[in-house]
Chains A and B, each alone.
Chain A
Amino acid sequence: MLNDTFDFVTGLSTGQLIAYFWPFFLFDLTRYVLFDVLILTLYLPRRKRNKQRRAEARRLLFHEKPLVSVIAPGKNEGKHIPSLAESLTRQTYKNLEIVIVDDGSDDDTEIICRKLLKDGKIDQFIRNDVRGGKASATNTALYYSTGKYVIHLDADSELRFDSIETILLPFYQDSKIAAVGGDIRVANLNDTMATRTQAIEYFKGISTGRTVSSMLGILRIVAGAYGAFRRDVLDRLGGWDVGPGLDGDITMKIRKLGLKVVHEPHAVCYTNVPTSFRKLAKQRFRWDRSMVRFRARKHFDVLLPTSNFMLSNFIATAENLFYNLFLNFKWWFYLAQVIFFYGAMLHNIIIVNYLLYTLANLAEFMVAVVLLRKTLRKQDLLLFLYLPLMPLYTGLYLRIVRTYAYIMEFIHRSSYADQWNPWKVSKVVKKDRL
């Protein structure tokens, strides 16, 4: 059969190659491999040249030593807080204020955190007896924090020793920067096959993808799991709006103010990801719907020629809508095309596609390794063994979840019924179409 495939490939003309594999050559190869390589060949030397500027930024930071608030709002996260507080004491940047908000937990969170507060391990603990959802908890933390910069962190994540210092540096390099995204890596990568594939996906999507977006000035998300913000800007915006997807939403709102948002690939944060494909599907269902809710609806105005029009915002949203939303549906079109028109060559097309995407993944992985080299661990490098799984993971699994999420949100606005927010909140935002 492989001989057959080999013959099939060698017998293809360029025209046929494009006709049979146009999604790969026209979109995925160009956008995710060639483009990334091109941008990073520009980025890496520039970063090297900027060494001097970074050193200057570092000097300014440690000269000013501003108070930095680390906020970790959440429900039933108490068990993670002691190790979070402990890990923050090992940071190279020390002037921190840890603010924990308990959003109506029904476990021991309150007891654990009150003890930590008493022992001086955390600086502020606010318990809301009634759950108000992520946005209200985050806004409570913002309200009671006092730092010049606010770092939003998931309670179950862990930072590299120099992470806070690193994520703050961009603020001292460019005064237009209002938010910096941290580089999210998978902490529990060796747990299951689901966590391994996610780890590879994070390298590609977050580490490389966001670095490239950031360079182009079209970064559209600062992850909720680890992001730093200027307090004055957050105050101006009145904090976070109701999610799900509030991290992408606030990033867009900052961009609309004409301020810059960047990604810092060396500010490392290890976070725990869903361990089964079922749980992962639930998480992505939530994330993907917010893409429709926020990009295609709430912030659709950035695509319109209004007085607020900014090319970078236009591109950020358009690129996102095109590649994620539009091309997602293109895939089903391609599938239909292959089945109906090239049915006889179906198996060969599948095999070749599989090989092409595996190679693309390998290339992307290598790009990430070059980009992140200093901060990678041995176990991260060993992930290359699982690269052949990635075409199935991204091409099939994630695509099915995403398509389902988009359809549900377009037709049913199902994100408003997500239990992630309390019903009292969902009811109001749904009524007001927020």
Chain B
Amino acid sequence: MNRGLLISADENPLRLPLSNSAEESNWRGLDAGADVDYFLIDTPNEDQAKKIIDLVRHKLLPAVYLKPIVLVSVWGDLPKSLQDQSDFVISRQQMKRELPATLLDEIEALNRRINSLQEQKLRADTNLALRLLRYLYTRDREIEPIPSIHSRGGFTYPGLESLFGVNDLSMWQTIEFLTAQHLIQTRFITRTHQCASCGCAFLNFKETCPQCQSEELDSDDLVHHFRCGYTAELADFKQQEKLVCPKCDQSLKHIGVDYDKPSVMYHCRGCDHRFQEPEITTTCYDCHRTAPPEHQIHRNIDAFKLSMLGVNAALFGIDSLFASILERKLQLLPLDLFERFISVEKARIIRYKLSNSSLLLIDIKGLEEIYLKLGERTSEVYEELANLFYAMLRNSDLISSRNESLFLMLLTETSPDDAKIVQQRLRQGVSELLKASLGTTPEIISNITSVDDSLDLTEFMEKFLNENHAE
């Protein structure tokens, strides 16, 4: 049974702080509104509706900020920007006594997806990237950009504005970050120029004189009179209403038949320079900075949806980042493939008895928490960690991971003693790097074994994990 919470001019059961009065509000509670199925907003003015949507989307619990929002259209033409921020819009007539059944089905489907984040239901999401991922996961569709004069970037994404705030650059930064981490898949829609200093997409493009930079330009067509070969600017041919050739006094009749216009010339009123290619400059309507277009930001405006990696991150948190970076940098192998390589290597060593290889397990505790501490700088630290791994390993070595923090490495043609040197350097490098970034020394646990007849990878790994759990 669906149960919505109506917020209207008269009803405000959660006492959302809609007016400026400082009265105590139930809304302050972490789980305020968590137990309803949707919010039904039916207020007489647009600003208030917008404010309610923002309040909902800024709450911390996924069970609240992801909640479906139904907007009742009472103003006839509801502004598109407002429609875009809600999940559903219905008219008064449609509403009658309760919501239409099809709409309720859709709300239920949406709530099912929110509920699949059950584990996190009562945990606050403070991370903007994760909130966005979860919003995308629950809405389960591609989000397309919409041109908007209300958004500083010139485009907005329906639903996302209220997660971030209208003129908040963090929306663009978060999208860029998620794209870079392969957590969302993008589809190119268009491209904008944005001010390099303030991100504003409202730029005034102007033609200027290449010699004196003046903006006061005239332009005129060049006219070629076929009959006598005379070529001059259109103004020279104008005689009252007619075009008459100043050289042969003949009237010009039909373009393409007795004359044509082979090009356009500009004339600078400032310095009298004549030219064909004016220089283009842009001035930001907001911060008034002037720069050539090539010095402004050219941003691709994409539609996007969650990638498989993103779905995973939405469900279980964003900390599998390191794995995705390693996957890119070191070609991190899937665990099953890694197991297969181990067995091949084992068979080779047993058969030829010429060499020995080692298996190194390393567990960096608390790696998943690094994101909470570092926010957007996380990816840089991960990149550095990946570089460190990359520097330690040779082309012939293989790497895989069990989860976000446990890594398995096959060091070919390396004795356990030599592997210890690698182990030591790796531990030291990781410690130093994380200490420099986080301020505390992380706990690093590792173990080495020789790849031989007695090695059973699964068993060795179980044992390693059990021992660590015991601690």
Contact = CB atoms under 8 A, between A and B. Distances in A.
A425 B277 CA distance: 27
B329 interface: no
A358 interface: no
A239 B245 CA distance: 13
Interface in B314-364: none
B247 A129 contact: no
A165 interface: no
B226 A143 contact: no
A275 B229 CA distance: 30
Interface in B264-318: 265, 274, 276-277
A429 B226 contact: yes
Contacts of A238: 228, 230, 246-248
B29 interface: no
Interface string B216-241: 00000010101111111100000000
Nearest to B227: A428
B222 A428 contact: no
Nearest to B277: A114
A404 to B, nearest CB: 27
Contacts of A428: 226-227, 257-258
A210 interface: no
The main secondary structure of chain B at its interface with chain A is: loop
B440 to A, nearest CB: 57
Given A128-B262, A130-B260, A424 B226 contact: yes
Contacts, number: 79
B263 A129 contact: yes
B119 to A, nearest CB: 61
Interface residues of B, number: 23
Interface string B59-70: 000000000000
Interface stretch (A131-139, A201-209, A405-413): A131-139
A132 to B, nearest CB: 4
B124 to A, nearest CB: 58
B256 interface: yes
Residues of A in contact with B, size category: 20 to 34
B263 A425 contact: no
A124 B267 CA distance: 13
A127 interface: yes
Contacts of A127: 263, 276
Most buried by A among B222, B231, B258, B262: B231
Contacts of A143: 231-233
Nearest to A104: B262
B246 to A, nearest CB: 7
A127 B266 CA distance: 13
Contacts of B231: 132, 136-137, 139-140, 143, 239
A329 B277 CA distance: 54
Contact of A125 (B222, B248, B276): B276
Interface in A118-175: 124-130, 132-133, 135-140, 143-144
Contacts of A4: none
B162 to A, nearest CB: 49
6 contacts: A129-B262, A129-B263, A132-B260, A139-B230, A240-B229, A428-B258
Given A132-B229, A136-B224, A238-B247, 10 more contacts: A126-B265, A128-B222, A128-B224, A132-B226, A136-B230, A240-B229, A424-B226, A424-B257, A424-B260, A429-B227
Interface of A: 104, 114, 124-130, 132-133, 135-140, 143-144, 238-242, 246, 424-425, 427-429, 432, 434
Which 10 pairs, one residue from A and one from B, show the smallest C-beta to C-beta distance? Answer: A238-B247, A135-B229, A128-B262, A139-B231, A428-B226, A132-B224, A136-B224, A140-B231, A242-B229, A425-B226
